[in-house]
């Protein structure tokens, strides 16, 4: 695989940052966009745009077809059984809120329990907290250990006959831990508990197969998948989508509207109220094609190689402590430097054109558990190379110089 050539497809890398070459190590936050995706959105607006599914004119037919094509591509990309199982949202956060609201409305009663983990992003905690406030649900946290792993046992011991949902991340956005999803889903199935997976850090890097994984819900954010902002995907098993009430109300999601009652169509229409991000959804089709042209397994392999190189390099750097040591790790390395706060690290790295993220990464529960208020995080995409890691490492050494350590 020619990474230089792949990287050349991303216009952002032709720009300089503070006169330096951009070393982008913040893809877990959001990935950069290839030219095909940017061009597709622009072309769609120039040549094919109109609103989807509402008018009879030919432009509307084209736009609707393009829009629905993306749904089919996603269905195949994640190997869902039915295209109706793919719901467009504005991001992963909205996907989780949709489930928390509608599933919560129908199935959660006072004292019912929801299991999440200490690794979760706030997006997979706060929506459940709302349910705790609204319905009296109880949230239980499966513990993570020093390595950043959540064992199957720590989940198992929390299950009771009141457990109504298990919601876990696919890959931790701090420690990079790849969760043992199959084990968790198998365990949940024996107790008939539905499982939601926050796939934000999984979908861009790991081959997905919904029929094999057999989870009930899986959410993604397209902007982390070389796609546009403003689009997310909720995969949900059809049986749930048939059973759950609508989420938001408005145009496009109704069947029949009368003064005394309203009926609703089936999924996905039922869950897609109002005009969606038409151009972005059309553009996302190109992101999937981009990923598939490279091959998701090749992406996993390349990122694994760079991650391992990064771990090796940073472990040799005495001033650096790496956060967590999971057996299975995605393309994420979080670290601290002795005596230098992560914000200061980020500012100094930025001076070298190295873009990382510093802070709690929307995981305050995890940072509290580890007893550190903030970490610095380098996260990878398909465009990163070993050279990027070398520049990162040099820049870390510069932090020590600036601070006279």
Partner 1 sequence: MDLKELYQEIILDHGKNPRNKKKCDGFNKDAKGNNPLCGDKIHVFLKLNDEKHVEDISFEGEGCAISIASASIMTEIIKGKDFNVAKKILENFINMLKEGSKPSINSLSDNENTTIMSLSGVKQFPMRVKCATLAWHTFLHAAEDNKKVVNTEK
Ligand X SMILES: Cc1ncc(COP(=O)(O)O)c(C=O)c1O
Residues that bind partner 1 (CB under 8 A): 18, 339-344, 347-348, 351, 358-360, 364, 367, 373-374, 402-404
CB atoms within 10 A of CB 233: 28
Orientation angle between helical segments 35-43 and 278-294, nearest 10 degrees: 150
CA–CA dist 135, 316 (Å, integer): 50
Query: Among residues 116, 187, 193, 200, which is the contact residue for ligand X, using CB under 6 A?
Result: 200
Among ligand X, partner 1, none, what binds residue 173 when CB lies within 5 to 8 Å by partner kind? ligand X
Q: Which is nearer to partner 1, 40 or 367 (CB)?
A: 367
> % helix / strand / coil in the chain, to the nearest 5?
45, 15, 40
Asked if 231 is part of the footprint of ligand X (rule: CB under 6 A), the reply reads: no
Q: Residue ranges of the alpha helices (H) in 191-232? A: 210-213
Among ligand X, partner 1, none, what binds residue 93 when CB lies within 5 to 8 Å by partner kind? ligand X
- Residue 28 Cβ, how far from ligand X at the closest point, in Å? 6
CA–CA dist 79, 74 (Å, integer): 8
CA–CA dist 267, 273 (Å, integer): 11
CA dihedral 367→372→376→382, nearest 10 degrees, is -30
Asked if 31 is part of the footprint of ligand X (rule: CB under 6 A), the reply reads: no
Region binding ligand X by CB under 6 A among candidate stretches 4-12, 197-205, 282-290, 309-317? 197-205
DSSP secondary structure string for all residues of 234-245: EEE-HHHHHHSP
Asked if 6 is part of the footprint of ligand X (rule: CB under 6 A), the reply reads: no
The residues, any chain, with a CB within 8 Å of residue 253's CB and separated by 6 or more, are: 246, 264, 265, 269, 270, 271, 272, 273, 274
Angstrom CA distances, 345 to 50, 176, 316, 371, stand at: 46, 20, 18, 19
Q: Which tokens go with 53?
A: 């599914």
- Residue 80 Cβ, how far from ligand X at the closest point, in Å? 20
Q: Which is nearer to ligand X, 127 or 310 (CB)?
A: 127
392 alpha carbon, distance to own chain's centre: 24
Residues 146-185 that bind ligand X (CB under 6 A): 169, 173
Q: Which is nearer to partner 1, 41 or 354 (CB)?
A: 354
Q: Binding string, 97-136, against ligand X, x = CB under 6 A?
A: ------------------------x-xx------------
CA dihedral 150→156→160→163, nearest 10 degrees, is 50
Q: Which tokens go with 362?
A: 């929307």
DSSP 95: H
Name the one residue in this structure whose structure tokens are 């909720």. 234
- Residue 339 Cβ, how far from partner 1 at the closest point, in Å? 7
Q: Which is nearer to partner 1, 9 or 367 (CB)?
A: 367
- Residue 220 Cβ, how far from partner 1 at the closest point, in Å? 24
Structural contact between residues 293 and 267, judged by C-beta atoms closer than 8 angstroms: no
Among partner 1, ligand X, none, what binds residue 339 when CB lies within 5 to 8 Å by partner kind? partner 1
Q: Which tokens go with 331?
A: 């393309």
Q: Which is nearer to partner 1, 63 or 356 (CB)?
A: 356
Asked if 66 is part of the footprint of ligand X (rule: CB under 6 A), the reply reads: no
Residues 348-387 that bind ligand X (CB under 6 A): 362
- Residue 343 Cβ, how far from partner 1 at the closest point, in Å? 4
Asked if 27 is part of the footprint of ligand X (rule: CB under 6 A), the reply reads: no
Query: Among residues 221, 336, 379, 384, which is the contact residue for ligand X, using CB under 6 A?
Result: 221
Structural contact between residues 68 and 205, judged by C-beta atoms closer than 8 angstroms: no
Active-site positions? 362
Region binding ligand X by CB under 6 A among candidate stretches 69-77, 198-206, 319-327, 338-346? 198-206
- Residue 352 Cβ, how far from ligand X at the closest point, in Å? 24
CA–CA dist 2, 294 (Å, integer): 10
Among partner 1, ligand X, none, what binds residue 92 when CB lies within 5 to 8 Å by partner kind? ligand X
- Residue 403 Cβ, how far from partner 1 at the closest point, in Å? 6
Please give the residue ranges that form the binding site for ligand X (CB under 6 A): 28-29, 91-93, 121, 123-124, 169, 173, 198, 200-201, 221, 362
């Amino acid at each position: 695989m020619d990474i230089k050539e792949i990287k050349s497809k991303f216009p952002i890398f032709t720009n300089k940052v503070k006169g330096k070459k951009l070393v982008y190590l913040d893809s877990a936050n959001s990935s950069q966009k290839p030219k095909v995706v940017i061009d597709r959105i622009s072309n769609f607006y120039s040549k094919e745009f109109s609103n989807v599914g509402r008018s009879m004119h030919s432009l509307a037919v084209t736009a609707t077809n393009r829009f629905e094509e993306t749904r089919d591509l996603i269905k195949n990309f994640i190997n869902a059984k039915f295209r109706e199982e793919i719901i467009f949202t504005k991001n992963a956060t909205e996907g989780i809120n949709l489930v928390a609201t509608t599933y919560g409305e129908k199935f959660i009663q006072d004292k019912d329990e929801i299991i999440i983990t200490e690794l979760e992003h706030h997006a997979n905690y706060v929506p459940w907290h709302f349910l705790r406030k609204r319905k009296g649900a109880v949230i239980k946290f499966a513990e993570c250990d020093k390595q950043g792993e959540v064992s199957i046992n720590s989940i198992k011991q929390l299950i009771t006959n009141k457990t109504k949902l298990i919601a876990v991340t696919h890959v931790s956005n701090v420690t990079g831990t790849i969760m043992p999803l199959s084990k968790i889903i198998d365990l949940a199935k024996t107790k008939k508990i539905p499982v939601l997976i926050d796939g934000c850090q999984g979908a861009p890097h790991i081959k997905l197969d919904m029929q094999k994984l057999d989870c009930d819900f899986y959410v993604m954010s397209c902007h982390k998948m070389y796609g546009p902002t403003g689009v997310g995907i909720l995969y949900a098993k059809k049986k749930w989508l048939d059973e759950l009430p609508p989420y938001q109300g408005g145009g496009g999601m109704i069947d029949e509207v009368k003064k005394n009652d309203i009926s609703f169509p089936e999924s996905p229409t039922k869950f897609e109220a109002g005009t969606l991000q038409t151009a972005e959804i059309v553009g996302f089709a190109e992101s999937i094609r981009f990923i598939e042209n490279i091959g998701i397994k090749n992406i996993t392999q390349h990122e694994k190689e760079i991650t391992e190189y990064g771990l090796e390099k940073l472990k040799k750097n005495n001033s650096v402590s790496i956060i967590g040591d999971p057996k299975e790790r995605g393309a994420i390395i979080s670290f601290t430097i002795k005596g230098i706060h992560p914000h200061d690290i980020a500012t100094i790295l930025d001076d070298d054109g190295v873009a990382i993220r510093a802070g709690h990464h929307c995981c305050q529960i995890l940072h509290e558990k580890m007893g550190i208020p903030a970490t610095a995080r380098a996260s990878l995409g398909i465009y990163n190379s070993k050279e990027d890691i070398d520049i990162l490492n040099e820049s870390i050494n510069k932090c020590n110089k600036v601070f006279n350590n």
